Amino acid sequence: MKMVKILTDKIDIPNYHKIDVYLKEGGYSTIEKALDMGQEKVISELKVSNLRGRGGAGFPTGMKWSFITNQAFPRYLTVNADEGEPGTFKDRLIMTKNPHLLIEGIILTCLTLEIETSYIYIRGEFVKEAQILEDAIAEAYEKGFLGDNVKETGKKVHLFVHRGAGAYVCGEETALINSLEGKKGQPRLKPPFPAVVGLFNKPTIVNNVETIANIPFIIKNGGQAFADIGVERNGGTRLVGVSGHINKPGVYELPMGYPLDKIIYEIAGGILNDKKLKAVIPGGSSTPVLKPDEIRDLPMDYDSLAKAGSQLGSAGVIVISEGTCMVKLLATLEKFYAHESCGQCTPCREGVPWVRDLVVRIENGGGKPGDIDKILDICDNMEGTTICPLATAAAWPAQSFIKQFRHEFEAHINQHKCPFN
Amino acid sequence: MVFKVIKMALEISKALNREIENTLKKYPNKEAALLPLLHLLQKEFGYVKKEVMELAAERLDVPYSKVKGVATFYTMYDKKPVGKYHLQICRNISCSLRGAEDVLNSVKEHLNMEVGDTNEKFTLSTVECLGACGTGPVMQVNDDYYEELTPESVKKILDSLK
Ligand SMILES: Cc1cc2nc3c(=O)[nH]c(=O)nc-3n(C[C@H](O)[C@H](O)[C@H](O)COP(=O)(O)O)c2cc1C
Ligand code: SF4
Ligand code: FES
């Protein structure tokens, strides 16, 4: 496994977020090449690269881009910088330490897909991060990489930052589009997909920050070089964020497919306070929880995680040590999902608060014998029956926590209290 | 430059007006500027009160009811007055594993406040994941993040806010 970095290799260079330093280090050198290659070649290289969306679903980026190529104009690019999934804090690193790589990726995307206007949708709380982006964008305009005539090519690319205002569901691509249009961030029914009817009812590509930041490398080095870094069907590196009960929390750029147990015990320094590992949520709060024996030699890639019964998601690894009450932890999560439901679909609007209430009741010692199966029942009705996957995202933790730690839920009910208190 | 005079209880400064004009230029229609406009107005007028929503509606030619719906949907728009410092402590999973509850309790005790309380200086809230989980527990105060908090360090931070 090649330990190369392509997103974070230079971020320790002083002032790398400034365009002069970025240029000196070889930045913005791919624009002409991308134009020479042209749309067809760029998309075919993307397909070879096995780049899959880093926002959570892992959709092949080359295929996503190919859907827009025969659509009408104008077209839009919206970059998803909502970073809302609990346990995820990776795009913040790119935006603050390597903003020009993101901007370069955006320019390449726009030139390839004949897009003249793009937006970075950044979560509203990231005020500082948004300012860093604004400053970097101003520099890129000044140097002629953005504007009405990008580097004398006659091509137009404009880029704006749009701040959200606090709503997790706005990370979902169609909610994000509504939010950018000045509306409530409520997801839209699909189809039509954004590539056909998106922002301002025009064809739109929505990609995650990390996805777009990988484009310059692929243009420069070709799709195969990117594919070679990862494993089968999963090209490139992954920004893995490790948080929770871990000695060295942080974001680590690792080749796709790097073993999860090694990430925890070697890269991130092992479990906090020399405790034993109890559980791992491998890809952000929505992804099903795994037990220590399930993460041994488990490659961090989309297919391996799915085979293990979880998901790679946003690669936000949440580490949980022995002594943690799983019922309390699930209550923390379900309070979150209940708070974030946008209310459009009955199974989500009614179901998630109901699950939350039952879990809270069990945690507080008031649980009844049928409560566990009731939760599973409600989750069954939430999954796959809604406009967006938020309801499913709320069901997975409940289902997996119960599957893996059912005895803890039962102990709460039998003892009429939390055994960890 | 045309400076549109708005007959409103709220006065818009020239500087703010310029910022609004610049914001409008980013979008193909006015309605799309609603979120950034509400951010700007909240900063200027303290919170999103009725007059702020009326002003936004007029400025963007959208119905007041629409502005109200949007302002209510998003948690960052304060619908009530807040203290000079809005303390927002993350209560979500990664922070909670690192002791966010102890941090919150320390804040409550130090300021003699409960979650939801407002006094002249502070408003105390809990919030969902702030996207800084690797450096939790995290607290956002107005536009600033304070990270890797402990029950002790958070008190020093509170004391430093004048
Ligand atoms: C409830 C919900 C929240 C989401 N939040 C985010 C987010 O914060 N950031 C993100 O990039 N994608 C998020 N997504 C995924 C997006 O809908 C979309 O798949 C992604 O932005 C596509 O980009 P990609 O193909 O580059 O991954 C979320 C999805 C759902 C259902
Ligand atoms: S599943 Fe929930 S969040 Fe998604 S559209 Fe339906 S109600 Fe809204
Ligand atoms: S859980 Fe607190 S910042 Fe993410």
pLDDT in tens, B72-115: 999 999 999 999 999 999 999 999 999 999 999 999 999 999 99
pLDDT at B2 over 70: no
**Domain assignment of residue A407, yes or no:** yes
- The long-range contacts involving B43-49, CB below 8 angstroms and separated by at least 24 positions, are B44/B12, B44/B13, B44/B16, B45/B10, B46/B78, B46/B81, B46/B82, B47/B77, B47/B78, B47/B79, B47/B80, B47/B81, B47/B82, B48/B77, B48/B78, B48/B79, B49/B79
pLDDT at B33 over 90: yes
Task: Indicate the number of domains in chain A.
Answer: 3
**Domain assignment of residue A339, yes or no:** yes
CA B13, CA A259: separation in Å to the nearest integer?
A: 57
CB contact under 8 A, B39 and A85: no
**Domain assignment of residue B49, yes or no:** yes
Please name every residue paired with A207 in a beta bridge, in sequence order, or none if there are none.
Answer: A79
A125, A126, A137, A319: best to mutate for the B interface, most B CBs within 10 A:
A125
CB contact under 8 A, B75 and A249: no
**Domain assignment of residue B157, yes or no:** yes
pLDDT tens, position by position, B34-57? 999 999 999 999 999 999 999 999
CA A149, CA A145: separation in Å to the nearest integer?
A: 8
B24, B93, B127, B149: best to mutate for the A interface, most A CBs within 10 A:
B93
**Domain assignment of residue A142, yes or no:** yes
What's the confidence (pLDDT) of residue A385?
84
Cβ–ligand 1 contact at A129 (below 6 Å): no
**Domain assignment of residue A6, yes or no:** no
- Is residue B34 located within the same domain as residue B101? no
Q: Which residues of B2-25 are buried (b: 16+ CB within 10 A; e: fewer)?
A: eeeeeeeeeebeeeeeebbeebbe
Q: Note down the domain range covering A303.
A: 237-321
- Is residue B32 located within the same domain as residue B61? yes
- Is residue B138 located within the same domain as residue B95? yes
**Domain assignment of residue B7, yes or no:** no
**Domain assignment of residue B1, yes or no:** no
**Domain assignment of residue B78, yes or no:** no
C-alpha of residue A162 to centroid of ligand 1, in Å: 16
Q: Note down the domain range covering B110.
A: 85-161
Confirm if A119 and A75 have CB atoms less than 8 A apart: no
CA B109, CA A309: separation in Å to the nearest integer?
A: 43
Q: Give the A:B interface size as CB pairs under 8 Å.
A: 140
φ/ψ (deg, to 5) at A54 = -90, 5
- Is residue A67 located within the same domain as residue A122? yes
**Where residue A27 sits, what CATH number does that domain have?**
3.40.50.11540
pLDDT at B5 over 90: no
**Domain assignment of residue A14, yes or no:** no
Name the residue in chain B with its Cα closest to that of A186: B73
What's the confidence (pLDDT) of residue B3?
53
This model of the complex carries an ipTM of: 0.96
Confirm if A78 and A176 have CB atoms less than 8 A apart: yes
pTM above 0.90, yes or no: yes
Closest by alpha carbon to A310, among A232, A379, A396? A396
pLDDT at B8 over 80: no
For chain A, the helix, strand and coil percentages under 3-state DSSP, each to the nearest 5: 45, 15, 40
Residues within 6 Å of ligand 2 by CB? A 169, 187, 341-345, 348-349, 386-388, 390-391
What's the confidence (pLDDT) of residue A376?
98
Tell which of B29, B49, B73 closes a domain. B73
Confidence label for B150 from pLDDT (cuts 50, 70 and 90): very high
- Is residue A201 located within the same domain as residue A297? no
Partner-chain residue, chosen from A125, A167, A324, that has the shortest CB–CB distance to B73 = A167
Q: Which residue is it, tokens 């726009």?
A: A110
A89, A120, A208, A314: best to mutate for the B interface, most B CBs within 10 A:
A89
What's the confidence (pLDDT) of residue B4?
53
Helix B34-45 with B50-60: angle, nearest 10 deg: 140
- Is residue A97 located within the same domain as residue A82? yes
- Is residue B67 located within the same domain as residue B90? no
Tell which of A211, A229, A247 closes a domain. A229
- Is residue B117 located within the same domain as residue B65? no
C-alpha of residue B19 to centroid of ligand 3, in Å: 32
Confirm if A17 and A97 have CB atoms less than 8 A apart: yes
- Is residue B52 located within the same domain as residue B92? no
Helices and strands counted in chain B (H then E): 7, 4
- Is residue B90 located within the same domain as residue B152? yes
**Domain assignment of residue A190, yes or no:** yes
Segments of chain A with pLDDT less than 50 = none
Cβ–ligand 1 contact at A301 (below 6 Å): no
Sign of the Cα torsion A166, A169, A172, A178 reads negative
Task: Indicate the number of domains in chain B.
Answer: 2
**Where residue B34 sits, what CATH number does that domain have?**
1.10.10
Confirm if B12 and B6 have CB atoms less than 8 A apart: yes
Kindly tell me the burial class for residue A70, based on how many C-beta atoms sit within 10 Å of its own C-beta (0-12, 13-18, 19 or more): exposed
Residues within 6 Å of ligand 3 by CB? A 86; B 90, 92-95, 129-133, 136, 138
Can you tell me which atom of ligand 3 is nearest the CA of B95?
A: 2
- Is residue B89 located within the same domain as residue B21? no
CB contact under 8 A, B94 and A163: no
Strands A158-163 and A250-255 turn out to be unpaired
**Domain assignment of residue A92, yes or no:** yes
**Domain assignment of residue A52, yes or no:** yes
